[in-house]
Structure 1
Amino acid sequence: MTFSIKDDSPLVSVITPSYNCSAYIKETIDTVLDQSYPNWEMIIVDDHSQDDSVQVIQSYEAMDSRIRLIPLANNVGAARARNIAIKEARGDYIAFLDSDDLWLPTKLDEQVEFMKSGNLAFSFTSYSLIDEQGHSLAIEVKAPQTVDYKHLIGNTTIGCLTVMLDRKQIKHIEMPDIQPEDTALWLSLLRNGYQAHGLPKILSKYRIVSNSTSRNKWKAAYRYWKLLRVQEKLNIVEANFYFTKYAYNAYNKSRGLQPVSIQNGGK
């Protein structure tokens, strides 16, 4: 496959963990191939899938040299799979796309320009929700202009599939070994002085899969409580305050309502 790349066009490394995703991975890869921005590499780490995911990914790898598969001999989980991909990445920017989510064709083009124009270290965009069959749920999660630590710790406003990070400004990018690992990384970056900048345009589609861990409300709640207490080291009062905000905003997001801002409390 041939494609034209401008000399000053930064390379974007697309980080994709894969596990038993044969029902969705083809559509996911197709949305990367359909990008109007050509200078990308897609590193897919297959976490020892038991279906035919590897064979599907290998067919794309043979077709386009920008796609690289790293199959694992053992299941290590999404955080470690992403970290393996990040270590192998060669790009100026890191972007995340899970194996069942989708990008719109101008996602990379618009977000790279957004990053370059503002010399941003950390950006994210708005996104919409789709069901398992890819049908719209008519729910949008809108990106605020900026998000700092106190805003994010009580919200779920940053979708992993929308994030782009500048490796020149953020020297160490690694997802912590605690769930939800993506939120844990965003909080760590914001706690260390970075600010997340929102591009208020829907450029991605997040698929709601019924049997995913994130859809189990009790497990998701427990994971977030543990994140607040273990990684963020909040005391009981602080943890209760932010957990209540998190639960309220998660409920609002599921109904397509906008998150509330946090005005007090926190570290």
Structure 2
Amino acid sequence: MIKISILIANYNNGKYFSECYESIISQGYENWEVIIVDDCSTDDSTEIITGLIKDDPRFRFYQNNKNRGCGYTKGKCIDLSEGELCAFLDPDDALYSYALERSADEFRKSGNNTIAVYSQLMFCDEKLNPREVFTKIKQVRNHKLFFNAPIQISAFFMFKKNAYLKTSGINPTLKNAVDQDLYLKLLEIGDARFISEVLYKYRLHSNGISQQTSKQSAKESFAKVIHESMKRRKITAIQNVNVPETFTTSEEIYGLLNYQTKMPYRILTKIRTSLHI
């Protein structure tokens, strides 16, 4: 049975961690470890987390020596992991009990070129009561002009660690858009398969790093991540419009991809994806 590393980057989410913890220990899949890296939380995260995991050897808890941000902390989680497969779980979210088993099964069924699998997620309220499925997640057609904008790949995202080690790794300076940086780099190594099932509970609350108060910052960071991907992939022009040598504005980068939101392109992509071409 392949070992799975569940990666948790925590900052001030101690009050939500108990439900995250319960969802992990209720997994039907048995061969897992949990790597938790706390980014110098100012709440009672340390006491809550260490009190729950206690002496369970499947959980390993670490702390940064100073507040480093999301990119650094998530990268450290991967560096400390020992599993062949890795997946991030935010400390304020939770998994369905079959999430690990279903994800591992998908890897077993897929070809060697599959380096990641991802699933549907359930939006939940602050108390983690289900509200609605995020229906925009779907199987993507992986090619050099795919940048996950608008988002089609999201949690629960599990990836092969050996594929990650072939990339330059998560950008440690990023404060947000960290997952997008990970997705795009991995897609340059191999393909990702979509699991059309809900495996992940995503909690909506006012303190979430990716939610309303930081949306503009996240949009800017995501544009920079996309631009870096364009440069890595040696894309000099899109639809006869030149890709800027250096990053200027998020509007310019998203403008290069506007055609991908139009109906003709979306229909063509859907047909190509269904026909595997």
Answer yes or no: same fold by TM over 0.5.
yes
**TM range, normalised to the smaller chain?**
0.7 to 0.9
TM-score relative to the length of structure 2: 0.78
Deviations 1:6-25 (A, max 9, x none): xxx01101110001111211
Q: Are the structure 2 counterparts of residues 199 and 58 from structure 1 closer, same or farther at C-alpha, using a change threshold of 3 Å?
A: same
Alpha-carbon shift at residue 245 of structure 1 (Å): 5.7
What residue ranges of structure 1 are gaps of 5+ in the alignment? 1-8, 249-259
Structure 1 position 220 matched with structure 2 position 235? no
Q: Secondary structure at the match of 1:36?
A: coil
Q: Secondary structure at the match of 2:23?
A: helix
CA contact (8 A) 1:151 1:262 kept: no
Aligned to 1:129: 123
C-alpha separation in 2, matches of 1:237 and 1:49:
36
C-alpha separation in 1, matches of 2:223 and 2:115:
28
C-alpha separation in 1, matches of 2:131 and 2:72:
31
Q: How do 1:155-174 and structure 2 match up within 5 A?
A: 155-159=150-154, 161-172=155-166, 174=169
Q: Are the structure 2 counterparts of residues 238 and 22 from structure 1 closer, same or farther at C-alpha, using a change threshold of 3 Å?
A: closer
Aligned to 1:139: 133
TM-score relative to the length of structure 1: 0.81
C-alpha separation in 1, matches of 2:57 and 2:16:
21
Alpha-carbon shift at residue 67 of structure 1 (Å): 0.7
Q: Which of these residues, 120, 141, 153, is aligned with residue 148 of structure 2? A: 153
Q: Secondary structure at the match of 1:54?
A: helix
Q: How do 1:187-198 and structure 2 match up within 5 A?
A: 187-190=184-187, 192-198=188-194
Structure 1 position 56 matched with structure 2 position 63? no
Q: Secondary structure at the match of 1:75?
A: coil
Specify the code of the residue in structure 1 equivalent to 2:27: Q
Q: Secondary structure at the match of 1:82?
A: helix
CA contact (8 A) 2:5 2:81 kept: yes
Q: Are the structure 2 counterparts of residues 56 and 211 from structure 1 closer, same or farther at C-alpha, using a change threshold of 3 Å?
A: closer
Aligned to 1:241: 256
Q: How do 1:22-101 and structure 2 match up within 5 A?
A: 22-101=14-93
What residue ranges of structure 2 are gaps of 5+ in the alignment? 232-242, 245-250, 270-277
State how many pairs are aligned: 241
Q: Are the structure 2 counterparts of residues 230 and 113 from structure 1 closer, same or farther at C-alpha, using a change threshold of 3 Å?
A: closer
Q: CA RMSD in A?
A: 2.5
Q: Are the structure 2 counterparts of residues 261 and 57 from structure 1 closer, same or farther at C-alpha, using a change threshold of 3 Å?
A: farther
C-alpha separation in 1, matches of 2:10 and 2:259:
32
C-alpha separation in 2, matches of 1:53 and 1:44:
11
- After TM superposition, the structure 1 stretch with the greater mean CA deviation from structure 2, 142-151 or 209-218, is 142-151
Deviations 1:111-156 (A, max 9, x none): 1011112143111111111122212222333542344243443221
